[in-house]
């Protein structure tokens, strides 16, 4: 029922860059919204031809796009938010729902541009949103009912959703959005190791990626602690524990934790 209602809604994505494009693709792939109900904007639209071919509307006119839409997804860089908000504030109404995926810009900062009581959410997805496998953290300022359901439901089509306090938004950026890059670096290193012990690159990539996918699914589907699953693989005096301990002696967990904290400190400082 809700999906039926939602399918008639129209979405504008302001900022057709990496994330905006990934969201547009994820939304259409999920079948949740028809491509012709999405407009994606940027100043130089020539890079959006592939989306236009899929039936998504593209535009360089933010104001016109907002007037067409029910939901606005703000996907520009942090320093561009102010200009965009000033540009669209006169055409925003109480009926609009504004969702910002912009890192480090608070709901209060966005709301300070508003002339009406438009509902403002922050969402922190990651680039796996393009294949509907995002981890998206959402925060809001006491919004409930249909508008919250509307936003939750949309991101639920694009992966997993968790509602968090806004003060954890920077932490969610690191663990969820930067986390994609950390995980990919892990996979790349595993591939390099795999090639050194005998696999060609293509086979090593498949084995490493599917193995990480399986490990993640083991945790998600069983709810087990990672160490519980690790215990099943580590035969006493075996090769797994020998490899794991060598990684730990070289600072594996420590460097990951330090990387997470370094990313977090960088967000907090800039
Ligand atoms: N990438 C991620 O994994 C990720 C994850 C979570 C959140 N985020 C956040 O998402 C935001 C976008 O990141 P991104 O990686 O997609 O950046 P990006 O690739 O640089 O995309 C930003 C886009 O905004 C467009 N733009 C700039 N000014 C505009 C305006 N006035 N009107 C309409 N469009 C405009 C730019 O195109 P033109 O120059 O042609 O206008 C560009 O395509 C950032 O705030 C980032 O912090 C990113």
Domain end call among 117, 141, 164? 164
Is residue 7 scored above 90 in pLDDT? no
Give the chain's domain count. Answer: 2
pLDDT at residue 10 is higher than 80: yes
Binned at pLDDT 50, 70 and 90, residue 1 comes out as very low
H or E element at residue 212: helix 201-222
* Same domain? 219 vs 108: no
78 lines ligand 1 (CB under 6 A): yes
On whether both 213 and 253 belong to a single domain, the answer is: yes
If we measure between CA atoms, which residue out of 92, 118, 127, 12 comes closest to residue 60? 12
Same domain flag for 11 and 121? yes
Do 23 and 129 belong together in one domain? yes
**Is residue 264 scored above 90 in pLDDT?**
yes
- Ligand 1 pocket test, pick from 61, 75, 136 with the greatest ligand atom count within 8 Å of Cβ, gives 75
Choice from 49, 57, 76, 133 to test ligand 1 binding pocket (greatest atom count within 8 A of CB): 76
Q: Give residue 88's pLDDT.
A: 98
CATH code (residue 84) = 3.40.50.720
Under the banding of pLDDT at 50, 70 and 90, the label for residue 270 is: low
CA–CA distance, 245 with 224 (Å, rounded to integer): 21
Find out whether the beta carbon of 178 lies less than 6 Å from any atom of ligand 1.
no
Q: State whether 50 and 96 are in the same domain.
A: yes
**Residue 199 shares a structural domain with residue 158:** no
103 lines ligand 1 (CB under 6 A): yes
Distances in Å between the alpha carbon of 117 and those of 3, 93, 141, 198? Answer: 25, 7, 12, 61
52 and 95 assigned to the same domain: yes
Q: Which domain holds residue 95?
A: 2-164
Q: Are residues 62 and 155 in the same domain?
A: yes
| Ligand 1 pocket, residue 177 CB under 6 Å | yes
| CA 230 to chain CA mean position, Å | 28
- Residue 5, pLDDT > 80, answer no
More confident residue, 179 or 270: 179
Q: Among 12, 13, 19, which residue has the most ligand 1 atoms within 8 Å of its CB, making it the best to mutate?
A: 19
pLDDT, average across residues 256-265: 97
Determine if ligand 1 sits within 6 Å of the CB of residue 46: no
Ligand 1: residue whose CA is nearest its atom 9? 102
pLDDT, tens digit, 9 for 90 and up, residues 19-43? 999 999 888 888 888 999 999 999 9
DSSP 86: H
pLDDT on residue 141: 87
pLDDT at residue 218 in the model = 97
Q: Are residues 179 and 114 in the same domain?
A: no
Within this chain, do residues 116 and 194 fall inside the same structural domain, yes or no? no
Per the CB < 8 A criterion, the answer to whether 190 and 166 are in contact is no
């Amino acid at each position: 029922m809700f999906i039926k209602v939602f399918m008639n809604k129209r979405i504008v994505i302001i900022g057709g860059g990496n994330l905006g494009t990934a969201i547009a693709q994820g939304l259409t792939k999920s079948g949740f919204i028809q491509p012709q109900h999405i407009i994606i904007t940027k100043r130089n639209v020539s890079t959006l031809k592939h989306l236009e071919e899929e039936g998504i509307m593209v535009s360089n006119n933010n104001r016109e796009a907002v007037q067409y839409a029910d939901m606005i997804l703000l996907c520009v860089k942090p320093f561009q938010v102010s200009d965009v908000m000033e540009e669209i504030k006169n055409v925003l109404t109480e009926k609009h729902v504004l969702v910002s995926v912009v890192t480090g810009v608070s709901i209060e900062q966005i709301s300070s541009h508003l002339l009406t009581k438009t509902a403002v959410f922050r969402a922190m997805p990651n680039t796996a949103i393009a294949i509907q496998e995002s981890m998206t953290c959402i925060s809001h300022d006491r919004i409930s009912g249909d508008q919250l359901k509307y936003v939750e439901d949309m991101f639920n089509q694009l992966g997993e959703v968790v509602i968090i306090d806004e003060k954890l938004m920077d932490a969610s950026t690191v663990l969820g959005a930067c986390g994609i890059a950390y995980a990919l670096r892990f996979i790349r290193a595993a591939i390099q190791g795999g090639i050194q012990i005998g696999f060609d690159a293509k086979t090593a990539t498949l084995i490493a990626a599917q193995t990480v996918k399986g490990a993640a699914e083991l945790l998600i589907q069983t709810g087990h602690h990672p160490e519980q699953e690790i215990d099943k693989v580590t035969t006493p005096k075996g090769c797994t524990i020998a490899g794991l301990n060598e990684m730990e002696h070289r600072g594996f967990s420590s460097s990951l934790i330090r990387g997470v904290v370094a990313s977090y400190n960088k967000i907090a400082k800039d």
